[in-house]
Structure 1
Amino acid sequence: QVFLCVTSTLNVALFRHHFVLEDLVEEMKKQSPDLNFGPLQPDGQIAVRGSFPALRVLREFLLLKAKSLSEEGKREGKSHQKPRKKLQEHRGAAETRNSRNEHREKQVLVLDTDIYLYMKCFLPKKLQANDAVISGVTDGDITTVCIESAGREAGAARRSRAKEIIESCSVELQKILRKERICLKEQSRGEKQRYKQLCERLKARYPGLLILPYDTHIDVVGTSADVFAFREEVRR
């Protein structure tokens, strides 16, 4: 197992006008006792370290809080609206709002970024669905995947089904994938370039590996056998 522990930086600043952030962090700690929390920064960011499933539970907890605040704001906004003079006009406006709200409804799930990138590269059909738009927003080690309706015909059942497929695939990949990091921090610019070129040449011999080059390191994601063999060739 490789994806045992990850670190994510969460930004809870959006809750500043609704909660005392220090109290919110304490609630987060009670909600996720298996996670390690860093100090809360003045800008509302906080580093959290632990297992990916535990981080996913925490992210879902915060998303639910944000959603409840959004719904509360909508209810308050509606209570200040003036009533329509005609029932027909009121009904038409309500139907318009409902259709727009339905169109904006979405399913959200959180994935390890390496898992998401591997899925996107080798299993792209898992991130596709009829009448739905699936997009990912990466924030460091975690990627938030949004599943939204592409049209009025796509209901909650299809979005939920797409979410289940992605979650199931993610769980299976976590069981079989391994990640190896080739550190380049101490290497010269020439050595970094040599490593990247070598990895690029070896890629054809390991078609099932995902190779992610960065400025300070190269991540290699794949099965244990492929990652081990690739690492040994790079070290020669």
Structure 2
Amino acid sequence: FSSVTSVLNMSVFKDRFVLEDLIQELKKKSAALSFGPLQSNGHVTVQGSFPAIILLRDFLLLKAKSLSEKNKREESESRSRPTRRLQQHRLTTETSNFVRDADRQKQVVVLDTDVYLYMKYFFPNAFVVNGDVLISDITDGDVTTVCVESAGSRSDAGQVLRVKEKIEKQSIKLHNALRKERIYFEERIRDEKRRYKSVCESLKPRYPCVLVIPYDTHTDVIGKPSEIFEFTKELNK
């Protein structure tokens, strides 16, 4: 997990920014990332660590949200001034929505799926919460989004944030320490597949900190590099 590659679509900013200048700003803010050339369609390739990519994504999402809100304000100002009654109704509605949102605090953590699976297996306490906090997850390929939210009490805001930070802190440690090896079975005959799966199971007690995830066509082995090396060496004997 030393490096991942992502493609950013910067075209959403072209009406408000000079894209070349915006990318220069991103390079200064994200010195640990490597940026490719800006394409004519507004796409740019970025390479670096997963946490750094996520920080860049969050920065761009905030910038896009700010831009959207600014556009809405300008659109509102260009319209004719509403009557006082409409203004009062709108203020009441917005205040009501704010209270409902405040009653349900929510935090989101985006994780590498392999890190998430390793955490769930070896560090389940990171996801253990009381009845006032709910945790859900959505996996989309290599990325798993974990949602931490309150069960309704406004007093849970601090607890929701603490749970989110605990998950985030543990995931960053693991992201920098883990490695994955994928062992393919597709081209092997049935007996070989059965033998590989059997050997994987027999090696588990000797490598208690290695996570073995079997699939029909392959097996993923996740752990520290030194242990993965020894595990795969034993497997291929």
Pair 1:59 & 2:60 matched: no
Equivalent residue number for residue 146 of structure 1? 147
Shift of 1:120: 2.5
> Once superposed, what is the RMSD of the aligned Cα atoms?
4.0
TM-score, with length taken from structure 1: 0.70
**Are the structure 2 counterparts of residues 71 and 163 from structure 1 closer, same or farther at C-alpha, using a change threshold of 3 Å?**
farther
SS at structure 1 position matched to 2:85: coil
| Partner of residue 6, structure 1 | 4
Confirm or deny: 8 A CA contact 2:105 2:160 kept in the other structure.
Answer: no
Alpha-carbon distance in 2 for matches of 1:132, 1:75: 35
Aligned partner of 1:120 in structure 2 is 120
Residue pairs, 1:41-190, within 5 angstroms: 45-72=43-70, 75=73, 82=82, 85=85, 92-102=92-102, 106-130=106-130, 131-138=132-139, 141-153=142-154, 155-174=156-175, 177-182=177-182, 184=184, 188=187, 190=189
- Structure 1 CA distance for aligned equivalents of residues 99 and 152 of structure 2: 10
Q: 1:51 to 1:60 in 2, by over 3 A?
A: same
Q: CA deviation at 1:126?
A: 1.6
Q: For residue 167 of structure 1, what is the amino acid of its counterpart?
A: E
TM-score if structure 2 supplies the norm length? 0.70
If you compute each CA radius of gyration, which structure gives the higher value, 1 or 2? 2
Is residue 84–residue 90 contact of structure 1 (8 Å, CA) maintained in 2?
no
**Equivalent pair of 1:8/1:142 in contact (CA under 8 Å):** no
Q: CA offsets, 1:141-200, max 9 Å, x none?
A: 54444333432435432222112111222233345x431423549x62538945863465
**Residues 1:71 and 1:165: Cα distance change in structure 2 (over 3 Å):** farther
Mapped to 1, the partners of 2:193 and 2:40 lie a distance apart of 38
Instruction: Report the Cα offset of residue 98 of structure 1.
Output: 1.0
* Superposed displacement of residue 110, structure 1: 3.5
Question: Tell me, what secondary structure is at the counterpart of 2:189?
Answer: helix
Which one is further off, 226-235 or 205-214?
205-214
Map 1:219-230 onto structure 2 (within 5 A). Answer: 219-224=220-225, 226-230=227-231
Alignment gaps of 5+ in structure 2: none
Kept after mapping to 2: 8 A contact 1:9/1:46: yes
Tell me how far apart the structure 2 counterparts of residues 46 and 129 of structure 1 sit (CA, whole Å). Answer: 39
Change (3 A) 1:209 1:17: farther
Alignment partner, residue 27 of structure 2: 29
Letter in structure 1 aligned against 2:149: E
**Identity rate of aligned residues, in percent?**
45
Letter in 2 for 1:219: D
**Secondary structure in structure 1 of the residue aligned to 2:223:** strand
1:150 aligned partner, one-letter code: A
